[in-house]
Amino acid sequence: MASQLHVYCSVATLREALSLLHPVIPSRTTTPALECIHISTQSDSLELTAANAEIRLRICCPARIVTEGSALVPAKLLWDIVRRLDEDEDVALLWQGTTAILETAYGRFQIAGLSPEEFPTVSELPEPSLELPAEVVNNVLHHVRFAASEEPLRPALTGILWEFRPEAVIVVGTDGYRLSRFRFPIPLDYHGSVLIPADTLDLLRRITDPIRIGWNTTHVVIADSHFTLWSRLIGEKFPDYERVIPTESTRRCVINRERLLKALERVSLFAPTSARIVRLHLQSDTLQLQAEDEARGDRAHEAVPCQYSGEPLLIGFNATFLTEAVKAAQKDSLLLEFTEPTRPVVIRWADSEELPVLESPLVIVVMPVRL
């Protein structure tokens, strides 16, 4: 391919592509090429690629190709320029030697780049083989991602487990204090699992098309019609998560999610910063939430109506963990299932009440704290 790239595309299109690629650019690296966006032409589209030590992302966007070629342009300066251009205009991108030139109707911007050959290549990457609806990824991001750990000393928990079974895709995230499991029924002629870094999946937040996914022993690839994302897999063993999900309960509470969430957000303002404990007192048809900062003398109490069956129960939770779990459930009516004050709560959608726990679409588990 010739190196004298010359293309036209809309500022809006280029800005959208760069906004997706920008999070991939490493903040610190000893490889200058990784601070750049690799740009090349493919048929009637422009391919823009960013990479770091773990992830490689390629975005395709429509463009008018005058001369085919490739370029390697510093990402930060390119992004800073493009996001300040008028969105409804077109921009011309030219490559002369190792210099990128952006031209608009009113300006010309010259950026010193690198030789495109300096951008690292990766061999033996897997080909995508399984096709999944976009809603699978959307459900993972909405319902499961929050539970993954941010603690690098426990690498297995910083990933999200994807299990492919003949009858369903099951996706699980946990940090050891809360767990979220989403089950998406779909017939698959496949059985296996893969542990994908949670940060990798964050790059999929804007997808709307069906995806294709494939992997080998070290990498996973996820693609749709506009992007291709490669990522290293986590080589650690994910915990046996089904062992920590209670499948039986002695106390059940059906409650409006929005009312519970708002009450949690208000009452948790009074939880001590150190422990963040909120007490739940369940009896009759009322869930009472309580928090107290003994050092300051601040106290809060709020009652939320519910449908409760079982013996009265007093149980405590980390306010942040419980609030995030309720927020992630994203349905009007929730089922909270308890056994004892020292055992975790299981949160499901209320319309899953008749299903066995492990056959429910969404199962969230939150560990209690000792009172």
Contacts of 262 (CB under 8 A, 6+ apart): none
> Model's pTM, two decimal places?
0.91
Residue-level pLDDT at 2: 45
User: Looking at per-residue confidence, does 212 or 296 come out higher?
Assistant: 212
Structure tokens at 263: 């009450």
Q: What would the pLDDT profile of 126-149 be if each residue is shown by its tens digit? A: 887 889 999 999 999 999 999 999
Burial of 105 (0-12, 13-18, 19+ CB in 10 A): exposed
Mean pLDDT of 148-175: 95
Contacts of 355 (CB under 8 A, 6+ apart): none
Q: What would the pLDDT profile of 12-63 be if each residue is shown by its tens digit? A: 999 999 999 999 999 888 899 999 999 999 888 999 999 999 999 999 999 9
| Whether residue 35 sits in one domain with residue 70 | yes
Residue-level pLDDT at 212: 93
User: What are the phi and psi torsion angles at 131 (to 5°)?
Assistant: -110, 135
Question: What share of the chain in percent tops pLDDT 90?
Answer: 85
Q: What would the pLDDT profile of 290-349 be if each residue is shown by its tens digit? A: 999 887 888 999 999 999 999 999 999 999 999 999 999 999 999 999 999 999 999 999
| Whether residue 42 sits in one domain with residue 76 | yes
Which contacts qualify for 25-34: CB closer than 8 Å, 24 or more apart? Answer: 25/50, 25/52, 25/75, 25/76, 26/52, 26/53, 29/53, 31/120, 32/114, 32/118, 33/72, 33/114, 33/118, 33/119, 33/120, 34/120
Q: Which domain holds residue 306?
A: 246-366
| Whether residue 255 sits in one domain with residue 360 | yes
> Residue 91 in contact with residue 100, Cβ under 8 Å?
no
Residue-level pLDDT at 297: 82
Residue-level pLDDT at 275: 82
Q: Bridge-partner residues for 159, per DSSP?
A: 197
Strand bridging mode 211-215 / 219-223: antiparallel
| Whether residue 139 sits in one domain with residue 46 | no
Domains: count for the chain: 3
Residue-level pLDDT at 141: 95
* CATH number of domain containing 353: 3.10.150.10
How sure is the predictor about 3, in pLDDT bands with cuts at 50, 70 and 90?
low
Q: Per the domain annotation, does 223 fall within a domain? A: no
Burial of 118 (0-12, 13-18, 19+ CB in 10 A): middle
